[in-house]
A and B are shown apart, each in its own frame.
Chain A
Amino acid sequence: MPPTGSETGVAAPLSGVRVLDLANEWGILAGNVLADLGADVVAVEPPAGSTARRLGPFRDDSGRAEDSLFWLAYARNKRGISLAIDTPDGLELLLRLVRDADVLIESFAPGWLAGIGLGYDVLAAANPRLIQVSVSPFGQDGPKANWPATDLTVTAASNYLLASGDPDRPPLHVPYHQAYLHAGTEAASGCLVAIRERRRSGLGQLVDVSAQEAMTSCTQSFILSSAWNDVSFFRLPPGPTRVKVGLSGVYPAKDGAVVIGFFFGSGLGPLAVKFMHWVYEEGMCDERDRDKDWVNYMALLNSGEETVEELDRVRGVLERFTSSKTKQELLEGSLSRGLLLSPAFTVKDVIESPQMAHRGYWQRTATGDKSVQYPGPFARFSASPLQYGPPAPSIGEHNAAILGGELGLGQRELEALAARGVV
């Protein structure tokens, strides 16, 4: 049996690591990842609340900061304080917290922290072991570093925007703030590399993450096409696209949609052949369609022996087949026949998935008056399983515990700071 718990008393990879998480939506996932790994992550919000709380959807569509499901999802496992770091008192308190911190994550506009007197040099002077992780749309420097940007515009800058959508309409953005999230995972990786390096040098450093660069990996190297003197797949006209991806795509099912990988070539072509045998067995295609040389179909198209029109006809055959079946029937066929095919699961399907139930994936966390299933461990660690603690903090929820308990501020001082709008 693998070890199921540490014999050394260290519960998690980052037990005892203190993270000050000043990040807004651009870097919010980084702290979430580090918290799942056991770090003590303290979200530091302005007294009015993080701008990440403006992102929906919202509980009961209220639009209120405390009801942002974006915040509830990505501030889970963190504690939270409110602090106006752009006031002299707030700055002083933050510097006191920095002295005992391992990591500071921020995603303000590049240069903003330095402008209020909290540049990396100041923070590193207060604590040379501090790792500062800075997340921004385009990176800390360069001609676009201070461009106004959103998740959508950064995706456009990454080349990935051209990868999605229908050929007769504009390219499509993948919703739910993917660029922020990719940037957040890159920030977590960079932070972990810096933590490991600090073990040797004893020194922190600055980790600089650009969301534009974080998104480029989604192009699967197609961003390099012109540097390699090749043409990208993205937004090719329909004919060549179909030649290159075969009959792969989204098809209608009786109660939703199904995604099929139907590729030509020796690697994945045999799976297309297996699929055609199923269609034939169900009486939905003839022997001629079943027995086309799907493995070598690309060559047949190139030689003119087969045509894109003929491929379109077969797509119609496949559509009639998938339309006659439910998602569940298609899933069972895929599992029993070993096909490259999956129903397009809704989020409800995924929550009810017997696979995830088998793995004990979902983690219940109180959310208002409801117990809600949150995404579980992003990976199953045999010796140091990821651990889930509190729901996302309300604004300033842990002011007393951290500013009072740790920094030793008395009740009266906290009240005075609150009166001046510092906490």
Chain B
Amino acid sequence: MNKALEGLKVLDLTWVVVGPTAVRVLADYGATVVHVETGTRVDTARTAPPFRDSKPGPESSACFNNGNAGKLGLLLNLRVPEARTVLTRLIEWADVLAENFTPHVMRRWGLDYESVRAINPRIIYLSASMMGQEGPYSNLAAIGNVGAALGGFTNVVGWPDRQPSGPGGAYTDYVASKYITISLLAALEYRDRTGEGQYIDLAQAETAVHFLAPAYLDVQVNGRLPETHGNRSPEHAPHGVFPCLGHEQWIAIAVEDEAQWTALARIIGRPELAEDPSLQSVLGRQARLEELEAAIAAWTATVEPGKAEALLVAAGVPAHAALDSPAAVADPQLNHRGHFVPVEHAQWDSMVVEGSRFRLGRTPAAITAGGPTFGQHNDTVLRDILGIDDATITDLAIAGAFD
């Protein structure tokens, strides 16, 4: 087995979605990741759907298992003083520590970077938060959909005749997560070259700005604030999501040029629109978008999304059905890529998680296990990795360190 990150040791104190998802990438490529959690305050991800057979339960969350696949699970209650001896050993062991508590929490526990660095000077320590570790808004209780509001995203998603609706879910979590992975790998590269560890302070709102960078330039250069345009695009027309035959069936269609427009107009049974010279430019089509969108929708409403997609794609028009979960799980492309990976799990016979979102040709990801059950690897971590003797483990357990 040829694993790209074999030998890398990661102490994962993250929870919920943004941190665990980012750190999982390291586990996918062979790092040993010890994921620390406590049973006294259950990780929100364990209470998040989807659930196995629709039944909520801390070992039944796809959100938790997908975000923590392949990690070793250690139950350790950091609020109990005795647990700190174990954590100190883990800090000595680790190359990387990652956490995403509210900014004051690690400081309150005496686990700020200075204290951790005193134990392991080479450690890479990443703190992820919504607004950053200090500053007037640093303690804003901000999770989930609120992050999009802070990063400028809420106001760019919506219909022009309504209040903005914002992006679905905890959108900026999914952006920040990717920059966390990048930051950890970059700091490792720096340490490989210099021997120096360092502290990384990552603010989710600051990463989100990168995903709206052109809008941030537009307001300064042109004095223009972004407006909501539904699904319309400044570059392409028509550009939208149209209803298909069936309940909640939709197809996305984007016309990039005149050849695609001509093909689309013929497919929807409107050859006269294909031949209309005033529609042979983006500006011409944009001027009549309501009429053109209605013409497209009149056709899509009579066709199943798969059939509409096949006709349009065959004619070179970018189009794709808006896949719901059953359609995505059956999607031939995602399955060809091995996107859905059956893995083992301590409590369930089988489980499906997502694969790596990039493929390395020579040293591919190896994803074999779901997330750990509560304390599943306490023995492995305490005895095998840290070499703590049984008597000490018993004392720690009596003190409540593993609650």
Q: Contact at B140–A73, with CB atoms within 8 Å?
A: no
Contact segment of B183-191, B268-276, B376-384, B390-398: B183-191
Given A150-B256, A250-B165, is A235 in contact with B248 using a C-beta cutoff of 8 Å?
Answer: yes
- Which residues on B sit within 8 Å (CB–CB) of A10? 190, 193-194
A340 to B213, CA, bound (A): 26
Q: How far is the CB of B244 from chain A (nearest CB, A)?
A: 11
Given A193-B185, A382-B198, is A161 in contact with B325 using a C-beta cutoff of 8 Å?
Answer: no
Given A193-B29, A196-B185, A213-B334, is A173 in contact with B241 using a C-beta cutoff of 8 Å?
Answer: yes
Given A158-B323, A213-B339, is A367 in contact with B217 using a C-beta cutoff of 8 Å?
Answer: yes
A348 to B175, CA, bound (A): 20
Given A347-B212, A378-B202, A384-B198, is A14 in contact with B186 using a C-beta cutoff of 8 Å?
Answer: yes
Q: How far is the CB of B348 from chain A (nearest CB, A)?
A: 10
Q: How far is the CB of A203 from chain B (nearest CB, A)?
A: 7
Chain A window 364-403, contacts with chain B (Cβ cutoff 8 Å), 1 for yes, 0 for no: 0001101011111111111110000000000000000000
Chain B window 150-192, contacts with chain A (Cβ cutoff 8 Å), 1 for yes, 0 for no: 1111111111001111111111011101111111011111101
- Which residues on A sit within 8 Å (CB–CB) of B260? 148
A273 within 8 A of B: no
- Which residues on A sit within 8 Å (CB–CB) of B246? none
Q: Contact at B62–A230, with CB atoms within 8 Å?
A: yes
B25 CB contact (under 8 Å) in A159, A189, A194: A189
- Which residues on A sit within 8 Å (CB–CB) of B171? 174, 218
Q: Contact at B183–A379, with CB atoms within 8 Å?
A: yes
Q: How far is the CB of B61 from chain A (nearest CB, A)?
A: 8
**Interface CB pairs A-B, < 8 A, 9:** A199-B192, A216-B354, A217-B21, A217-B177, A230-B54, A250-B166, A259-B148, A344-B149, A349-B152
Q: How far is the CB of A32 from chain B (nearest CB, A)?
A: 8
B51 within 8 A of A: yes
Q: How far is the CB of A360 from chain B (nearest CB, A)?
A: 10
Interface size class of B (residues with CB under 8 A): 35 or more
Q: Contact at B66–A341, with CB atoms within 8 Å?
A: no
Q: Contact at B179–A185, with CB atoms within 8 Å?
A: yes
Given A196-B188, A216-B339, A261-B143, is A348 in contact with B62 using a C-beta cutoff of 8 Å?
Answer: no
Within 8 A of B (CB), among A311-340: 334-335, 338-340
Contact segment of B32-40, B78-86, B223-231, B284-292: B223-231
Q: How far is the CB of B25 from chain A (nearest CB, A)?
A: 6
B332 within 8 A of A: yes
- Which residues on A sit within 8 Å (CB–CB) of B17? 220
Which of A74, A152, A164, A203 has the most chain B CB atoms closer than 10 A to its own CB? Answer: A152
Q: Contact at A367–B231, with CB atoms within 8 Å?
A: no
A78 within 8 A of B: no
B201 within 8 A of A: yes
